[in-house]
């Protein structure tokens, strides 16, 4: 196939933007990138898809999300963290069946494809959501993923008063054993599209001894680790109670940091921490909308980037971002950084797009395969339809994507050389069935949990 007549934002080492550009795809790979004329001349026998002057760019990579919470979209808005977790999210999740876990993942995957995300890191897949069902859903959707299986041996979070719902509690030995058996079954599936990682809970939810074990096992197998760290201020108190200057120092001593590790959030970090993250090659997923929604704080993105930390970005979950639409969240990355530093020059559009593509690929450990439009890389890219008032006119295509576009502007999605969506029709999933199943399951979970959630205004 040739995708021609596009504004190609390549994200290649020179960051070329090719006007009247084209991308030739052969099997799973990008065969060539260049001007439409020369690509058409060099590949005369290929099927040609006219991009009609729209933007073609790498698929986005969400470095921190919870597929399980798609069914809980909007269930706990405008409440404090205690109510959020203890009265809503954990109670509902503790009442999931494995079929609910799969349905939630399908809903999240559908939304990802419809908003241009072609790869993601699932940060904490609990036992009760059913690993195999979720992995099967990812495999058939065509998206690539690193699935972090939850590991835990303590029911608390950032202090003893936060205790999980009994339906969510797992023990250390079982959660380790099940992660390793999921790794044996699924790691490398879909010709490398699926990775299985450790997704241990935040310090406080995992004993230091269990972290040591996770670090050891991950290094033996070259497995990834993803862990929420420094999301809330209370994490600092936990680290101090263990005798550490910061949670990052705690994580390093317990073997969690390194080039195969992605920390979710890293809001409450300082220049000393950034040095450690840069030295160890640890990645961070910045989750701007989640941090804003939960008032967790503003992550020091500009500082981390300047210190050489690989900062990617993520949507986190539909409970605290209400969307898995990366395009919608792009500008929040820039806006929060500008507010924090009181400087309109920091974290410009170009940097945001690097975080959402190249840095995400590096966080997943697949920077040689995806993240940019270059010959020899996997064909993971999206086409954004510019034929809309909010995207007209285009002065700078990078600015247009970051500051003006939303996920529903994505028209076509290709991953591993397969068209997952064309003309906004998803070809790998049954959209209608997934939506009606999700609506029904949400009501059933609410009922099983004994909750009644709705508008705070009078319902007549
Ligand atoms: Zn999270």
Encode pLDDT of 18-61 as tens digits: 999 999 999 999 999 999 999 999 999 989 999 999 999 999 99
Q: Is 369 helix (H, G, I), strand (E, B) or coil?
A: coil
Confidence band, pLDDT 50/70/90 cuts, at residue 460: very high
- What the block records as the tokens of 442 is 């949400």
Identify the three-state secondary structure at position 73.
Answer: coil
- Mean per-residue pLDDT, 173-191: 97
Each residue's pLDDT tens digit, 103-131: 999 999 999 999 999 999 999 999 999 99
Ligand 1 centroid to Cα of residue 191, in Å, is 27
C-alpha of residue 391 to centroid of ligand 1, in Å = 31
441: helix, strand or coil: helix
Q: Where are the domains of the chain?
A: 2-58+373-426, 60-363
CATH class of the domain at 2-58+373-426 = mainly beta
CA 255 vs. chain centroid, Å, equals 23
At 204 the pLDDT is 87
Which of the listed CATH numbers 3.40.1670.10, 1.10.760.10, 3.20.20.140, 3.10.310.10 matches domain 60-363? Answer: 3.20.20.140
In this structure, the number of other CB atoms found within 10 A of the CB of residue 428 comes to 17
Residues 73-77, mean pLDDT to the nearest whole number: 95
pLDDT at 156 over 90: no
How does the average pLDDT of the chain come out, rounded? 96
Note the residue count of the chain: 460
Residue 263 C-alpha to ligand 1 middle, in angstroms? 10
Residue 209's SS3 state is: helix
Q: Which of 375, 356, 398, 372 is nearest to 112 (CA)?
A: 356
Is the pLDDT at 407 greater than 90? The verdict is yes
Q: State the distance from the centre of ligand 1 to the C-alpha of 42, rounded, in angstroms.
A: 46
* pLDDT value for 163: 80
pLDDT, residue 159, reads: 59
pTM value? 0.97
CA distances from 345 to 16, 335, 339, 348, 349 (A): 22, 10, 11, 6, 10
Residue 339 is predicted with a pLDDT of 98
Cα 114 versus chain centre, distance? 15
- Do strands 410-415 and 418-422 pair parallel, antiparallel, or not at all (unpaired)? antiparallel
Residue 208 has which token pair?
A: 């230091």
CA 14 to chain centre: 26
- Identify the residue whose tokens are 């904490």: 124
Separation of alpha carbons 377 and 373, rounded Å: 7
304-318 per-residue burial string, b: 16 or more CB within 10 A, e: under 16: bbebebbbbbbbbbb
DSSP state of 407: G
Q: Supply the pLDDT for residue 164.
A: 84
pLDDT of residue 158: 57
Q: In this predicted structure, what is the pLDDT of residue 155?
A: 86
DSSP 87: I
- Distance between CA atoms of 295 and 340, rounded to whole angstroms? 14
Q: Which string of DSSP letters, residue by residue, matches 224-277?
A: -EEEEESSSTHHHHHHHHTT-S-HHHHHHHTT--STTEEEEE--S--HHHHHHH
Helix (H, G, I), strand (E, B) or coil at 72: helix
pLDDT of residue 404: 98
Q: What's the CA-to-centroid distance between 70 and ligand 1, angstroms?
A: 12
| Ligand 1 ion: residues within 5 Å (CB) | 316
Residue 388 alpha carbon to ligand 1 centre in Å? 33
Distance 90 CA to ligand 1 centre (A): 13
What the block records as the tokens of 163 is 């205790």
The pLDDT of residue 86? 87
Ligand 1 centroid to residue 108 C-alpha, Å: 14
DSSP state of 458: P
pLDDT tens digit sequence for 236-290 = 999 999 999 999 999 999 999 999 999 999 999 999 999 999 999 999 999 999 9
- Ligand 1 centroid to residue 30 C-alpha, Å: 33
- Assigned token pair, 239: 């680290």
3-state secondary structure of 300: coil
Q: Is the pLDDT of residue 161 over 90?
A: no
Q: DSSP label at 46?
A: S
Q: Is the bond preceding 308 in cis, omega lying within 30 degrees of 0?
A: no
Task: Calculate the CA dihedral of residues 171, 176, 182, 188 and round it to 10 degrees.
Answer: 150
Ligand 1 center from residue 319 Cα (angstroms):
10
> From ligand 1's centre to the CA of 317, what distance in Å?
6
Q: What are phi and psi of 368, to 5 degrees?
A: -80, -15
- Please count the CA atoms within 13 angstroms of the CA of 26 that sit on its side-chain side: 10
Through-space distance between the first and last CA atoms of the chain, rounded to whole angstroms: 55
Give 331 Cα–ligand 1 centroid separation in angstroms.
Answer: 20
Q: How far is the CA of 209 from the centre of ligand 1 (A)?
A: 23
If one compares 229 and 161, the residue with the highest pLDDT of the two is 229
The rounded percent of the chain whose pLDDT value lies above 90 is 93
| Better-predicted residue by pLDDT, 161 or 451 | 451
Share of the chain above pLDDT 70, in %: 99
pLDDT of residue 160: 63
In 83-126, beta strands by DSSP E? 117-125
pLDDT of residue 43: 95
Cα of 368 from ligand 1 centre, angstroms:
26
CA distance 412 to 397: 17
Radius of gyration of the chain (CA): 21
Q: How far is CA 33 from the centre of its chain?
A: 27
Greatest CA separation for the chain: 67
**Distance from the CA of 226 to the center of ligand 1, in angstroms?**
10
């Amino acid at each position: 196939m040739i995708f021609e007549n596009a504004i190609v934002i390549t994200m290649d080492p020179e960051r070329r933007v090719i006007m009247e550009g084209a991308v030739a795809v052969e099997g799973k790979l990008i065969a060539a990138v260049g001007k439409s004329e020369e690509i058409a001349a060099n590949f005369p026998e290929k099927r040609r898809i006219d991009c009609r002057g729209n933007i073609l760019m790498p698929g986005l990579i969400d470095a921190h999300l919870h597929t399980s919470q798609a069914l809980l979209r909007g269930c706990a808005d405008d409440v404090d963290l205690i109510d959020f977790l203890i009265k809503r999210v954990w109670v509902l999740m503790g009442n999931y069946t494995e079929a609910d876990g799969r349905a939630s993942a399908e809903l999240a995957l559908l939304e990802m494809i419809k908003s241009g995300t072609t790869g993601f890191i699932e940060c904490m897949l609990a036992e009760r959501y059913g690993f195999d069902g979720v992995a099967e859903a990812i495999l058939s959707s065509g998206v690539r993923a690193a699935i972090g299986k939850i590991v835990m041996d303590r029911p608390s979070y950032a202090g003893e008063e936060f205790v999980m719902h009994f339906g969510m509690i797992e023990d250390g030995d079982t959660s380790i054993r099940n992660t390793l058996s999921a790794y044996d079954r699924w790691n490398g599936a879909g010709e490398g599209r699926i990775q299985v990682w450790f997704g241990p809970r935040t310090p406080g939810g995992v004993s230091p001894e269990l972290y040591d074990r996770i670090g050891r096992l991950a290094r033996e197998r070259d497995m990834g680790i993803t862990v929420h760290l420094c999301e809330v201020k209370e994490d600092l108190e936990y680290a101090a109670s263990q005798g550490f200057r910061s949670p990052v120092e705690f994580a390093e001593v317990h073997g969690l940091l390194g080039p195969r590790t992605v920390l979710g959030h890293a809001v409450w970090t300082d220049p000393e921490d950034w040095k450690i993250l840069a030295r160890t090659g640890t990645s961070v997923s910045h989750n701007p909308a989640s941090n804003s929604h939960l008032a967790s704080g503003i992550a020091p993105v500009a500082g981390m980037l300047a210190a050489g930390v690989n900062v990617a970005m993520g949507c986190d979950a539909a409970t605290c971002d209400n969307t898995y639409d990366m395009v919608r969240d792009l500008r929040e990355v820039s806006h929060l950084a500008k507010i924090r530093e009181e400087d309109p020059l920091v974290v410009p559009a170009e940097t945001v797009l690097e975080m959402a593509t190249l840095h995400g690929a590096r966080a997943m450990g697949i920077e040689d395969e995806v993240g940019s439009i270059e010959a020899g890389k996997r064909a993971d890219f999206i086409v954004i339809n510019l034929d809309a008032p909010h995207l007209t006119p285009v002065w700078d295509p990078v600015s247009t994507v970051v500051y003006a576009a939303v996920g529903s502007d994505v028209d076509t999605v290709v991953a591993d050389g397969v068209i997952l969506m064309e003309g906004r029709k998803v070809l790998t999933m049954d959209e209608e069935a997934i939506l009606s199943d999700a609506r029904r399951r949400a009501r059933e979970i609410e009922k099983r949990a004994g909750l009644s959630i709705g508008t705070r205004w009078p319902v007549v």
